[in-house]
Structure 1
Amino acid sequence: MHRFRLLVSTLAIGTLLAVPQALFAQSSGIESRTSQHDIDQVDERLRTALDYRGMILVTVIDHAANAGKVDLSLPSTRTFVFGNPEVGTPMMQCQGSLALDLPQKMVIRETDEGTRLEWNHPDYLAERHGLGDCDLPLDKVAGALESIATEAAGD
């Protein structure tokens, strides 16, 4: 029995080590795109893309400005909070805890590689909140977010 447990443990560890790092990155549920345009240009394009789709821009949080208020520094980082009640409401009707993650958010931030856009993939939210039994247009939402990010990146 001891040999069997050792064999199972060894196989399990070997399997984990063989899993590509990219799969671990995907499991975080964070999607991203990098733009070579400055953050103000990406900001403007993001606002336009949201407006074009009829999204409600709830607020934009300027994390770098907030950090400066307490004498700390942070590269330019902004969180856009936006949504469409026609899409978000049915999701929250399915599982009320989804209100923790809705409205949708998209972060734009300066990095050494350019302006990075990041957002949660809807499948991650579905898994996080147990939306498996609900008939929701998650692929459509994912496509819309990808399209918005692509337009905002402008590359």
Structure 2
Amino acid sequence: MVRFGFVFSMIATVSVATSAFTQSSSVQTAVDKNFLAIETAVAEAGATPIASINHARLAKAEGVEMPASRVLIFSDPEINTPFLEETVRAGLDLPLRVLSFDQDDRPQIAYTDSQFLKVRHGLNDIQALNTFQSKMLEVLNNLDATPAPTNGLFADYGVIELRSQLSVPKAVERLRKAVMEQDDTVWFGEVDFAAEASHLGVELPDAVLLLFGGPAPGGVAMAGFPAIGLDAFCQKLLVYPNEEGGSVVIFNDIAALAELNYGSSAEPHHGLNKRLTATFRTAIE
């Protein structure tokens, strides 16, 4: 089950100013062309688009300049479900996603591949991993694309975890409310993995993925680190049950993603981590 909405909220306090960033129109055109090719391929592959996010356009509307960056998130329950049966935490890196972006005035495409999932979540279902990879390569077709880096990646790398006595439905309700009460966040939707799996006759524990992002602070954080747009801004927040009847909330460490992709991070990444962690912790207490 996928729900969509659009609401603005504030998730971080970041000093925002228009940068001196410039970009050639040819690079912008190439980024857009690659993205449209990906959208077409996703439709032809029979996958369901979940969110189409133009990071740069959203940031510019808030007065922040950043390199061209567009991510497409798309889903196939038959691909998602076997991973979630093995470990529900794999939902943090689902559904599938591809990023078209400008890196140093060069159009590039990045995607999450099966090796990233395998290493980060300790997955061992070879058939499921091969199916995931085949679908991704079908979508990418003949496009020149690079998988997300796995050098330095290990189990649970860059995963921030919070625990709550609240049930999953109550935690999701509180977290959604906390996000939607802010001022400058875009709400992209949510994915109910258990509901998806039930249509396939598979019973999974409650597992809900919330998708949202802050265009202004996100644009600042991505300005020199556009590749992190594959995993951030859309920020992903996965909620699933713990052993005591409460819930676990996990989300991506933005600084860790920057370090994985670029070997370094910046103050906005750490500032956003602190703000997000405080917001989520307060919501589920």
Which residue is equivalent to 2:191? 61
Assess, with a 3 A threshold, how the Cα gap between structure 1 residues 108 and 27 changes in structure 2: closer, same or farther. closer
Contact kept? 1:75, 1:111, Cα under 8 Å: no
Pick from 63, 75, 80: which aligns with 2:205?
75
Instruction: Give how far 1:139 is off.
Output: 2.2
TM, length-normalised to structure 2: 0.42
**Bigger Rg, which one:** 1
Pairing 1:14-93 to 2, within 5 Å after superposition: 28-54=157-183, 55-93=185-223
Aligned residue type for 1:85: P
Instruction: Give how far 1:136 is off.
Output: 4.4
Structure 1 SS opposite 2:204: coil
Instruction: Give how far 1:66 is off.
Output: 0.6
Assess, with a 3 A threshold, how the Cα gap between structure 1 residues 89 and 99 changes in structure 2: closer, same or farther. same
Structure 2 SS opposite 1:80: strand
Which whole-Å CA distance do the structure 1 matches of 2:261 and 2:205 have between them? 32
Q: Which consecutive unaligned segments of at least 5 residues does structure 1 have?
A: 1-24
The aligned length equals: 130
Instruction: Give how far 1:111 is off.
Output: 2.2
Q: Which consecutive unaligned segments of at least 5 residues does structure 2 have?
A: 1-153
Point out which structure has higher relative CO (alpha carbons under 8 A, 6+ apart): 1
- Give the helix-richer structure, 1 or 2: 1
Assess, with a 3 A threshold, how the Cα gap between structure 1 residues 139 and 95 changes in structure 2: closer, same or farther. closer
TM, length-normalised to structure 1: 0.74
Assess, with a 3 A threshold, how the Cα gap between structure 1 residues 78 and 51 changes in structure 2: closer, same or farther. same
Contact kept? 1:63, 1:76, Cα under 8 Å: yes
Contact kept? 2:227, 2:261, Cα under 8 Å: yes
Structure 2 SS opposite 1:137: helix
Aligned residue type for 1:125: L
Structure 1 SS opposite 2:248: strand
Contact kept? 2:253, 2:273, Cα under 8 Å: yes
Which residue is equivalent to 1:124? 256
Which whole-Å CA distance do the structure 2 matches of 1:106 and 1:33 have between them? 11
Contact kept? 2:225, 2:258, Cα under 8 Å: no
Instruction: Give how far 1:151 is off.
Output: 2.1
Contact kept? 1:56, 1:84, Cα under 8 Å: yes
Output the aligned Cα RMSD.
2.3
Which residue is equivalent to 1:111? 242
Which whole-Å CA distance do the structure 1 matches of 2:156 and 2:199 have between them? 35
